[in-house]
Structure 1
Amino acid sequence: MTLPTDRSDSPAGRTGSRPPGAATSAPWWRRWPAWVPRAAALWAVLSAAVQTVWAASGTGVPLAAERSYPSVALLGTAVASLLAAVVSLASTGPLTRRGRIAVGVAFAVLIPAHGWTMPGLPPTFVTLASGSGVDSVTGLVQLLLTAGNTVLLTAVAVVHRRRLKGRCPRCGQVHTGASDGPLAHPAPVPAPRRTRVTAYVLLCGLLPWAGVKTVWLCGGDAIGVRGEAWQREVETESSGASRVLASVGIDVTVLAALLGIFLLLGLLHRWGQVFPRWAPPLAGRRVPRLLPLVPAWLTGAGLACYGTLLTLGAALMAFGALPTPEPEGVFTTGSGLAWMVAFGGFAFGGLGWALLVGARSYAERTRPRCVLAE
């Protein structure tokens, strides 16, 4: 069986359904299903080259805490990147039934293989935004390379799946004619009530974590941590904006969570689709669809994975399957540290899953359709 081809690349697709006198060449961003496989392959090859150079030269790439990637892991990442390049290009051509199965399995394996580093995006963003600098240049480059592989490979998988189902690779609908012309955007509407309630309930996970951090910064004691000790640690280890905020009782991570809440509210309400009156001079204009979706997907996926792991770890400690951690840093009791792990899991997981729920609803409500000439 031969896969449907991208109509935007065929002569009929370019001119068959356009009105007389219309331009035959659409802007490059409207033709993204045609070029995203090549972009993914190019990025994957670049990533493989960088990983190979690091492995051959013994360059230290931070993995976690004081540990670095072993050379074997870097070479494995390079191989996974090369496979991603091959799969991206293979998905654009005609495939047999076995070929389609192989490509589908490759997507299912390679996307998580590159995406497991996504939980590192939110803390890296907070660190950079607070002016604390970059802990490791190679670590930041590694994160950007794997995140780029994940995003581009996911886009290729979406295009591949739509073609398999005989749908337009760009808008996902079933139609004939060009798939690179103008788009019709639906009228702005808020998220369904059930979606909003679900997101707000998930946000409640932020309350214990934000409350404890605020108590510490205001000089109070909680869960085995003295406020004075916490303030001293913040003053010695933080820099830039994070230190300034701490001096007035605001934790930079709590402020970052507030920005996440603002993003979530935009995903759930109408003003996230049309700029409101309090946002001149853009008031009344349509919000570019990917402007809230990209940060919501990237941040939400990272926070959801990280928070779920922390919550699972806290639950295993509560049931005795994992030992209670020894007190370290400003924590004077192991139970207090265990409680903070649980609070972090509720906060990061709650905000992450809320963003994913809101992003899914936003994507469905704002999905445009190709405008076809009569």
Structure 2
Amino acid sequence: MTQLLVKKQRRQAGWHEWIGYAAAAWSLLYGALGLYWALGGAGFPFGVGDEELMNEPAFAFKVSLLGLATPEAAGPTIATLGVIGAAAGVLMARGFRIGSAPWLLPAFAWAMALGLTVVVQDYRTLIIVAYTPVLLVSKTFFGWPEGAGWAELYEPERLNLLVLLLAGVVWALTAVAYRRKVTGACGNCGRGDERRPSALQRWGRPAAWIAFAIPLVYCLTRWAWALGFSLGIDPAFYREGQEDGLWLAGAALATLGGIGAVLTLGLIQRWGEVFPRWMIGLRGKRVPPMLAVVPATLVSVLVASAGGMYIRLVVARGGVTASTWPLELPETLWVLWGAALFTAAMAYHRRRRGTCEACGKGAAVETH
């Protein structure tokens, strides 16, 4: 009987058991890179080492908060945070809770998560994720755009930002897993003994509608440009965009955004839980919750981090004008888009998590 129980517990052990160690390992490795850069090693990907930003040095700090970073200053900081992060990750994975650890450790983890997913990010991480499918289709079927390919999209500095963003997600999950450990909640589903109404149950539906509406503002401006409407931007700049295909690329990206906006409504609609009838081979089957939660969460982080950069740009330029609003205003709303999409995704996850195999507790019921 004891052996069966042990086997069952091992089988039920999931991400919450190893995620802290993953955060620790990444921190140690990246901290080692920081030390390497501080000692003069090549490949420093921020500030003065970011070739893409250094093409316009005066513009660098407006795009990235690390736009003026140097390896001499940033390298030791990265190394120090790496060592602290390695220790904190291990302690959180082991459920260390002596003294002030129960609030100090998750505070550090959330600070790391916010810093890696938002503070050090700019629009280039979103470019990688958004333009990968666009480039795949355009290059495969149309051979367009000429002179641009995967090497230009996957530049090392951009890939570094993508790695940092994923590491930030790992730190956020580490904080969640640790909280479950110290509060006695189920590590697998997060349920505890209390049964308090969740704010997600109240805000999930309006958040989904907000996350549906905001990207459409961006989409409408990009579709308008592709159809020949300048919307008041500088005529010379608009003609240049027409000649080099910029507005067509923007329309393609906007189309993906529009599809994503519609899919967002699946977080609150029946077809987001059961495949609709027109999906041959899948109709009537249950939609795996993670099929919606994972991409929605990733997109929420991407657009929020890019939105933060656009807000910095607007502030640096003195605000939005009648001739620049189509270029700048839609993106400044992306922080709200990201927050709303994340809230809607978490509400969907909570509603659909089902009966937990580890603790046996049932799903919460969402109130509409």
Paired residue for 2:87? Answer: 86
Residue 53 of structure 2 is aligned to residue 65 of structure 1:
yes
Aligned to 2:141: none
Does residue 254 in structure 1 map to residue 249 in structure 2? no
Residue 230 of structure 2 is aligned to residue 212 of structure 1? no
Cα distance in 1 for residues equivalent to 2:18 and 2:159: 24
After superposition, the Cα gap between the structure-2 partners of 1:83 and 1:263, relative to the gap in structure 1 and judged at 3 Å, is: farther
Which residue matches 1:323?
Answer: 318
Relative to structure 1, the CA distance from residue 288 to residue 231 in structure 2 (aligned partners, 3 Å threshold; closer, same or farther) is farther
Q: Which of 190, 201, 210 is equivalent to 1:172?
A: 190
1:155 aligns with 2:166: no
Match of 1:45 in 2: 28
Q: Are 1:126 and 2:130 an aligned pair?
A: yes
Determine helix, strand or coil for the equivalent of 1:233: helix
Question: 2-side partners of 1:286 and 1:75: how far apart?
Answer: 50
> 1-side partners of 2:90 and 2:223: how far apart?
51
Q: Which residue of 1 aligns with 2:332?
A: 345
In structure 2, the partner of 1:180 is none
8 Å Cα contact 2:266-2:272 kept in structure 1: yes
State the Cα distance separating 1:25 from its structure 2 match. Answer: 7.0
Aligned amino acid, residue 327 of structure 2: M
Cα deviations by residue, 1:125-156 (Å, 9 ceiling, x for unpaired): 12322225344532133123212321111111
Residue 276 of structure 1 is matched in structure 2 by 276
* Residue identity opposite 2:102 in structure 1: R
Q: Rate the CA distance shift 1:38–1:128 in 2: closer, same or farther, 3 A.
A: same
Quick one: distance in 2 between partners of 1:265 and 1:24? Answer: 37
Secondary structure of 1:256's partner? Answer: helix
Unaligned runs of 5+ in 2: 55-59, 61-66, 136-148, 194-199, 361-368
How big is the shift at 1:364? 1.4
For 1:160 and 1:281, how far apart are their aligned partners in 2?
40
The 2-side partners of 1:206 and 1:43 are apart by 33
Aligned to 2:99: 97
What whole-Å deviation, never above 9, does each CA across 1:200-233 have from its counterpart, x for those lacking one? Answer: 245433444333322222222322333x853643
In the TM superposition, what are the counterparts of 1:2-21 in structure 2 within 5 Å?
15-16=4-5
**Greater CA deviation, 163-172 or 107-116?**
107-116
Query: Could you tell me how far 1:306 is from its partner in structure 2?
Result: 3.4
Structure 1 342/270 Cα, relative in aligned 2: closer, same or farther at 3 Å?
same
CA contact (8 A) 1:60 1:138 kept: no
In the TM superposition, what are the counterparts of 1:182-261 in structure 2 within 5 Å?
195-201=204-210, 203-226=212-235, 229-230=237-238, 232-233=240-241, 235-236=243-244, 245-246=248-249, 251-261=251-261
RMSD: 3.5
Cα separation, partners in 2 of 1:271 and 1:79, compared to 1, 3 Å: farther
Secondary structure of the residue aligned to 2:298 is: helix
Contact 1:173–1:369 (CA under 8 A) maintained in structure 2: no
**1:276 is paired with a residue of what secondary structure?**
coil
Structure 1 residue runs of 5 or longer lacking an equivalent are: 1-10, 176-190, 326-333
Q: In structure 2, what is the equivalent of residue 33 of structure 1?
A: 16
Q: Distance in 2 between matches of 1:223 and 1:99?
A: 55
Cα distance in 2 for residues equivalent to 1:309 and 1:142: 17
Does the CA contact (< 8 Å) of 1:275 and 1:282 recur in 2? yes
Contact kept? 1:114, 1:147, Cα under 8 Å: yes
165-174 or 194-203, larger mean C-alpha shift:
194-203
- Where 1:275 maps in the other structure, the secondary structure is coil
Which stretch of structure 1 is more off in the superposition, 154-163 or 114-123?
114-123
Give the equivalent residue in structure 1 for 2:112: 110
Distance in 1 between residues matched to 2:276 and 2:173, nearest whole Å: 30
Residue 287 of structure 2: aligned partner: 287
Distance in 1 (CA, whole Å) between partners of 2:242 and 2:77 is 38
Which stretch shifts more, 43-52 or 149-158? 43-52
Structure of higher CA gyration radius: 1
Distance 2:109 2:202 in 1: 34
The CA distance in 2 between the partners of 1:75 and 1:167, in whole Å, is 38
What pairs up with 1:330-369 in 2 under 5 angstroms?
Answer: 335-338=322-325, 340-346=327-333, 348-369=334-355
Please say if residues 31 and 80 of structure 2, whose CA atoms lie closer than 8 Å, have aligned partners that are also in contact. yes
Q: SS of the residue aligned with 1:336?
A: coil
Cα 1:280–1:96 shift into 2, 3 Å: same
Tell me if structure 2 keeps the 8 A contact 1:310–1:341. Answer: yes
Identify the structure with the greater helix proportion: 2
The count of residues paired between Structure 1 and Structure 2 equals 318
TM-score (norm 1): 0.71
